[in-house]
Amino acid sequence: MTTINIHQAKTHFSKLLKRVMAGEEIVIAKSGKPIAKLIPLETPLQERTPGSAIGKIKISPDFDAPLPDDILESFEK
């Protein structure tokens, strides 16, 4: 794990991100005291596909109907 100061982090941010993407962990310090850690994401972000849940979700026609009185009362206690 590499430790760098804030000025170096600001100056070389793009290079640091490349190192993090390669799996390295980098600690950022202020006055020699660690304050933050750059680490790679555990799971890479995946592109979202609009409409990918078509046909998988069903919404009841009365989904926005008022709650029954006994359930509503439990929320108001």
Of the candidates 33, 39, 30, 23, the one whose C-alpha atom is nearest the C-alpha of residue 8 is: 30
- Domain architecture of the chain: domains with CATH: 1-41 (3.40.1620.10)
C-alpha span between 38 and 9 (Å, rounded): 10
pLDDT value at position 44? 67
SS3 26: strand
The model's pLDDT over 12-64, given as tens digits with 9 standing for 90+, comes to 999 999 999 999 999 999 999 999 999 998 776 778 888 888 889 889 999 99
- Return the higher-pLDDT residue of 9 and 42: 9
pTM for this one?
0.53
Report whether 14 contacts 8 (CB < 8 A): no
